[in-house]
């Protein structure tokens, strides 16, 4: 039995390839892994996911957040900016059920890895795209971060004290909600 089948869960037997970084995309992968999917996390060889270094308090130099968001995942490195890395990702996706990405819109298409190209490679592949502003529209090209979504949605206005500037909630709620809804949609 494969590790994911021994682990059980409703998604046991499904293979997920995740190229997300920071919180929203990886949180989607974390949730799918929590439900039993095998998650292969593809990281940039120039330092991996920035979450590996996240936070000011790092006992023994290790991020407190990384073990949580990386749980139930197998990590590999792959330089997707190079043709060899793009081909490796195609090979991984040929045997996958789900692909999670949270690059800026147009990035996958520039690499020849957009949904249309992937549908030819693997017609049943579910492609989950997590962005701050969607794939098109007036803000699509902007980087999306949970904190910006929280501010634009009014959460930061509601948080804190009335005589001070809007403040941050104690967690990255915007990213966590995006990742949760991405997992539900997947």
97 included as an active-site residue:
no
Buried b (16+ CB within 10 A) or exposed e, 149-176: bbeeeebbeeeeeeeeeeeebeebbbbb
The catalytic residue among 4, 49, 97, 175 is 175
110, two tokens = 């520039």
**SS3 state at 148:** helix
Q: 74-78 long-range CB contacts below 8 Å, 24 or more apart?
A: 74/38, 74/39, 74/40, 74/41, 75/40, 75/41, 75/43, 75/48, 76/40, 76/41, 76/42, 76/43, 77/42, 77/43, 77/44, 77/45, 77/48, 78/42, 78/43, 78/44, 78/45
Q: Sheet containing 73-77: give its strands across.
A: 73-77, 38-43, 15-18, 98-101, 126-129
Residues annotated as catalytic (active site), given as ranges: 175
């Amino acid at each position: 039995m494969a590790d994911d089948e021994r682990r059980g869960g409703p998604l046991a037997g499904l293979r997920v390839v995740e190229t997300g970084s920071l919180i929203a995309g990886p949180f989607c992968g974390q949730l799918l892994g929590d439900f039993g999917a095998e998650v292969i996390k593809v990281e940039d060889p120039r330092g991996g996911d920035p979450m590996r270094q996240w936070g000011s308090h790092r006992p023994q130099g290790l991020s407190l957040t990384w073990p949580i968001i990386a749980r139930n995942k197998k990590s590999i490195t792959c330089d997707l900016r190079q043709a060899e890395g793009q081909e490796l990702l195609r090979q991984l996706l040929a045997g996958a059920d789900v692909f999670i990405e949270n690059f800026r819109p147009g990035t996958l298409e520039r690499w020849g890895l957009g949904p249309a190209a992937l549908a030819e490679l693997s017609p049943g592949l579910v492609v989950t795209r997590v962005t701050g502003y969607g794939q098109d529209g007036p803000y699509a090209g902007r980087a999306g971060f949970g904190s910006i979504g929280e501010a634009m949605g009014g959460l930061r206005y509601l948080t804190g004290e009335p005589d001070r500037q809007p403040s941050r909630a104690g967690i990255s709620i915007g990213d966590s909600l995006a990742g949760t809804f991405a997992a539900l949609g997947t």
